[in-house]
Structure 1
Amino acid sequence: MENERYRSLLTPAAMGRVDAAAAASGIVSFGLMEKAGHAVAAAALKLYPGALRFAVLCGPGNNGGDGYVAARALREAGADVELYHLGDPARLRGDAATAHALCPIKGSPLHAYAPTVGDVVIDAIFGAGLARDVPQEVASVIVAVGNAGVPVLAVDLPSGLDGRTGRVLGAAFRADHTVTFMTRKPGHVLLPGRQLCGRVEVHDIGIPWRIVMQQAGQASMNAPAAWAAALPALSAEAHKFRRGHLTVFSGSATATGAARLSAEAGLRSGAGLVVLASPADALNANAAHTTAVMVNQVEDEADLADYLSDERRTTFVLGPGFGVSKKIRTFALALRNRRLVLDADGITAFRDEPHALFEAFGTGETRLVLTPHEGEFARLFPDVAADDALSKIDMTIAAARRANAAVVYKGADTVIAAPDGRALVNENAPAWLATAGSGDVLAGIIGGLLAQGMPAFEAAAAGVWLHGEAGARLGEGLTADDLAAAIRPLSQPAVP
């Protein structure tokens, strides 16, 4: 249950429905607020035993109510506590009003707070439900706290962050630690929110998990549990073609390295046979730098048609180092009935005619995996990328539906989505994966898993996770060559 809770994501709106459903089931809502506030107080005492003063900043809603409970609990534990409120506490309603009435600490207006050395700020102003820019009074306090460098413990989400998108709404606290309840929200894991939350602690306040799951959407965190059942299983009679055939298209003689990285990664992710499809001028370079990877000449459309006459050649990676040209578009469309990972130049090549690509792969099972970074995503889906109302999760799902593809929207907060609306957010990738050739390796891993028969979405998600694991295992300073060599396949137990 603990792992499931940490993998799950609920939007603020969905969490509001969970709270309402819990109350309707007979659970006393103020009891949930009491548990939340006490969890915050416990975290504050554990993390900051040397604090000279806890400054609890309370907002005008239920997040503020959690703050009043925390302030009372901290005072009862013997801590020095001062309380500051946004707006008139007399206007509080419901559980927040009850929490304020039970709190023995007389508060002061929020603007009166002046951070000093030894303070720990408990931010209970807005939480995850904020949908507008913070008022100037709050923005000023955020700036003052940031300038003073005092620690911040956020309740639910640092105030100023949009819990649905992770975007900053005018200004936001940079928390050292965040205590949230039941599940994380998208704002905890999408940038820039992830960088502003510090360490996130998910606390169970007693809502039955069945109620939480009734409101869960199709987005969650990327982890083996999401795709392990689809991993390839080896059998005693396996041979190289049954383990999957992957073809990676090489660029010209001066641009072969990217394709070789993809091919090596595809082989190490478990594909039984990997071929570099190379133009004539690159044959010698590719042959001189590969051993287990085979090299075939595929120069033009006629060569490709001949190559495709062997139906065992099922899966392809196109784009790394290939160059943006009519040729790459022709090759991609010729592969409409095969499985294709389209990366880098392959994505950019369709910026002026994306519908040709979408129509080619638009029917039947999902055969296409797209792996754009931010710029490439905007070239292929300009209207989606420009819609500020959408989160990165929303954008990736919209793109996957339009393209009938598994879409890997890359970044430090990579999102993987399927046409049916499933989405996973990845968080295991270290910052040092941002190095030349890293994306080529990722494309090859996904291609290798596709070649072994994994469905497109599961192959994409597993590839992203394996890529992150390899990067974390290697450590800072890795190169793409190191990364390709470090890929370790995951597989189901062998079938006798």
Structure 2
Amino acid sequence: MFLYNAEDIRQADRKAVELLGMPPAILMENAGKGVADAVKRYFPSHSRVLIACGGGNNGGDGLVAARHLLREGYVVTVLLAAKEDNITAETKTNLGILQNIGCLLIHSETKTDGELTSLAAENDLVIDGLLGTGSKGAPRGEIGRVIRSLDKAVPIVAIDIPSGVDPSTGEIEGEVLAANLTVAILARKIGHEVMPGRAFRGDLVTTDLGVEAGLLLPEEGRAELLEPSMVSGLFPPLSPFLHKGDRGAVLVIGGSERYRGAPILSALGALMGGSGVVIAAVPADSLPLLSPHPEIIPLEIQKEDGVITPKAWDRILDRWGGRFSAVVIGPGLDRGVISRELVRRVWVEWKGPLCLDGDALHALSCCEDLEPRPSGTVITPHEGEAGTLLSTDRAQVGRQRIKSARDLSSRFGVTLLKGPCSLVSDGRRLRVNPHIVPGLSVPGSGDVLSGLVGAFLAMGIQAFDAAAAAAFVHGSAGEFLQNQKGPHGITASEVALELPSTRNRLQAPLGKEGP
């Protein structure tokens, strides 16, 4: 499913007017009626409604919704947070209609903060028509005051986008009005699905403008929301004559005296992800942890001062040559000059697909002289690791997730920025994973994900597609487990073991079986 930004919507409105001959007043009427219909459907018993309107078209949509709700017997109050001489023409027309039919209108500037809070609390529902897709930056002036003052204990329905959320990025720069339901006009926006904006939209429904959306929107949006049918199509078809070597071979390099289990979880993720051969190149400390999984091939490698030495790469090549399809490096590697030089060697000398996770990302942050690798590189940072790579902090990355993912991909390769609604960017394209699974916030979950990325790279899936598929499958597995046992106590091993069933469920509707 494509996601759109504010400019896409502006162009769609222009196309409706100039090419289809639809007057702006008709567009506003259709949008506002769609909002009223959603309120009736989702809040049938909420009879007293406060509609907070700004002076733009979003406010006009709210005024239209007010008229339709009045007709249905709702008790409606309109709170206008704009001067009447500073509103758009269509909004002014609809305001006049409401005044003519006797709708209660209150100008927000006549009320104190406390009175605004009390006004909201006197109603069953608040409709947010303050700011729409044309807004940018922190809410200012009277709009900002109204947002701060409205009682958040009352259910809120946002028209198109919650006020304060950037529709094109999901960023939040100031006050925001969290919604229980958002009624998207015409199409989903990027800000609906990308954190932190995603956390404020509540449930989401879409209403049209009276014509098929495809007549107005560009053929492709600025981002894609991952869906089962799309992800399923990223996997190669299953041949009945498949050999295990055709499934690809993954080499996992990791482990240290402090972090012995991380590479085992990564290797398990690769194995359960469908790789035909999985090699775990680990120090002796980690080898006993492989005993429950004899399918994973162990390779003991040297360590120095508790961490793997750069000479371990020579041992790997001596033993296996180039007989692996993809490399995963970093799980449990630990930090320091020694491990940094190992990462440097692998980055430079390995020419095939490569996934870097965990402490390999910290090593990258210390190797600013490294040249970009060829295509086929995936990094999987969480916000803290991304902050280190970008010489900023976790909070800044969290505020600007799209920009951070794109900046990382321009320097290091395809980036899978982890977290709720994880992002995948190759610098040009952007995909959004819809999963929000608190049950996955457990030790080792990211290690399993890195192994899954490695498995998909080893199958020959391109790096951007492999990272997107891994994010979605990993999230789906976690979601399934969370639905079965709740958000507490899920282990990374359980997530890995759920991966095969998740892929089978994902691909079964299309009659395909994963390798």
Give TM-score, length-normalised by structure 1. 0.90
Instruction: Find the counterpart in structure 1 of residue 18 from structure 2.
Output: 24
Residue identity matched to 2:63: Y
Residue identity matched to 1:282: D
Change over 3 Å in CA distance of 1:292–1:214 after alignment to 2: same
Structure 2 unaligned spans of 5+: 303-311
Deviation at 1:237, TM superposition (A): 2.2
Instruction: Find the counterpart in structure 2 of residue 315 from structure 1.
Output: 326
Secondary structure, counterpart of 2:16 in structure 1: helix
Query: What are the residue-to-residue correspondences of 1:230-309 with 2, within 5 Å?
Result: 230-279=234-283, 281-282=284-285, 284-299=287-302, 300-307=312-319, 309=321
CA contact (8 A) 2:386 2:404 kept: no
Residue identity matched to 2:5: T
Deviation at 1:67, TM superposition (A): 0.8
Deviation at 1:386, TM superposition (A): 9.5
The separation in 1 between residues aligned to 2:417 and 2:369, in whole angstroms, is 19
Instruction: Find the counterpart in structure 2 of residue 453 from structure 1.
Output: 460
Asked whether 1:465 is paired with 2:465, we answer no
The separation in 2 between residues aligned to 1:15 and 1:337, in whole angstroms, is 42
Instruction: Find the counterpart in structure 1 of residue 380 from structure 2.
Output: 371
Instruction: Find the counterpart in structure 2 of residue 487 from structure 1.
Output: 499
The separation in 2 between residues aligned to 1:264 and 1:386, in whole angstroms, is 32
CA contact (8 A) 2:452 2:470 kept: yes
Change over 3 Å in CA distance of 1:407–1:222 after alignment to 2: same
Deviation at 1:261, TM superposition (A): 0.7
Change over 3 Å in CA distance of 1:172–1:284 after alignment to 2: closer
CA contact (8 A) 1:164 1:391 kept: no
Asked whether 1:139 is paired with 2:144, we answer yes
Instruction: Find the counterpart in structure 2 of residue 4 from structure 1.
Output: none
Count of matched residue positions in the alignment of Structure 1 and Structure 2: 479
Instruction: Find the counterpart in structure 2 of residue 86 from structure 1.
Output: 81
Asked whether 1:326 is paired with 2:340, we answer yes
Asked whether 1:393 is paired with 2:402, we answer yes
Change over 3 Å in CA distance of 1:388–1:59 after alignment to 2: farther
Asked whether 1:437 is paired with 2:444, we answer yes
Residue identity matched to 1:186: I
Deviation at 1:110, TM superposition (A): 1.7
Deviation at 1:355, TM superposition (A): 4.3
Secondary structure, counterpart of 1:230 in structure 2: coil
Give TM-score, length-normalised by structure 2. 0.87
Structure 1 unaligned spans of 5+: 1-6
Asked whether 1:127 is paired with 2:132, we answer yes
CA contact (8 A) 2:133 2:166 kept: yes
The separation in 1 between residues aligned to 2:164 and 2:268, in whole angstroms, is 45
Secondary structure, counterpart of 2:453 in structure 1: helix
Q: 1:442-472 deviations in whole A, cap 9, x for unaligned?
A: 1111111111111111111010001011111
Task: Give the stretch that moved more between structures: 100-109 or 267-276.
Answer: 100-109
The separation in 2 between residues aligned to 1:49 and 1:142, in whole angstroms, is 25
CA contact (8 A) 2:157 2:182 kept: yes
Q: 1:96-120 deviations in whole A, cap 9, x for unaligned?
A: 2222232232522124342234431
Aligned-pair Cα RMSD in Å: 2.5
Task: Give the stretch that moved more between structures: 483-492 or 233-242.
Answer: 483-492
Query: What are the residue-to-residue correspondences of 1:338-377 with 2, within 5 Å?
Result: 338-356=352-370, 359-361=371-373, 363=374, 366-377=375-386
Deviation at 1:331, TM superposition (A): 4.2
Instruction: Find the counterpart in structure 2 of residue 337 from structure 1.
Output: 351
Task: Give the stretch that moved more between structures: 329-338 or 476-485.
Answer: 329-338
CA contact (8 A) 1:236 1:494 kept: no
CA contact (8 A) 1:154 1:179 kept: yes
The separation in 2 between residues aligned to 1:307 and 1:45, in whole angstroms, is 68
Asked whether 1:43 is paired with 2:51, we answer no
After superposing on structure 2, the runs of 4+ consecutive aligned residues of structure 1 that deviate more than 6 Å are 383-390
Deviation at 1:169, TM superposition (A): 3.4
Asked whether 1:102 is paired with 2:97, we answer yes
Residue identity matched to 2:106: S
Instruction: Find the counterpart in structure 2 of residue 203 from structure 1.
Output: 207
Secondary structure, counterpart of 1:341 in structure 2: strand
Residue identity matched to 1:165: T
The separation in 1 between residues aligned to 2:379 and 2:324, in whole angstroms, is 20
Q: 1:23-42 deviations in whole A, cap 9, x for unaligned?
A: 11122322111111011111
Instruction: Find the counterpart in structure 1 of residue 305 from structure 2.
Output: none
The separation in 2 between residues aligned to 1:494 and 1:472, in whole angstroms, is 21
Deviation at 1:65, TM superposition (A): 0.6
Deviation at 1:326, TM superposition (A): 2.8
Change over 3 Å in CA distance of 1:283–1:201 after alignment to 2: closer
The separation in 1 between residues aligned to 2:400 and 2:194, in whole angstroms, is 8
Change over 3 Å in CA distance of 1:331–1:65 after alignment to 2: same
Identity %: 30
The separation in 2 between residues aligned to 1:494 and 1:199, in whole angstroms, is 33
Instruction: Find the counterpart in structure 2 of residue 409 from structure 1.
Output: 417
Change over 3 Å in CA distance of 1:459–1:183 after alignment to 2: same
Deviation at 1:341, TM superposition (A): 0.8
The separation in 2 between residues aligned to 1:449 and 1:339, in whole angstroms, is 10
Deviation at 1:73, TM superposition (A): 0.8
Residue identity matched to 1:13: E
Secondary structure, counterpart of 1:242 in structure 2: helix
The separation in 1 between residues aligned to 2:447 and 2:398, in whole angstroms, is 31
Secondary structure, counterpart of 2:327 in structure 1: strand
Change over 3 Å in CA distance of 1:159–1:296 after alignment to 2: same
Change over 3 Å in CA distance of 1:60–1:179 after alignment to 2: same
The separation in 1 between residues aligned to 2:393 and 2:342, in whole angstroms, is 24
The separation in 2 between residues aligned to 1:81 and 1:241, in whole angstroms, is 67
Residue identity matched to 1:143: R
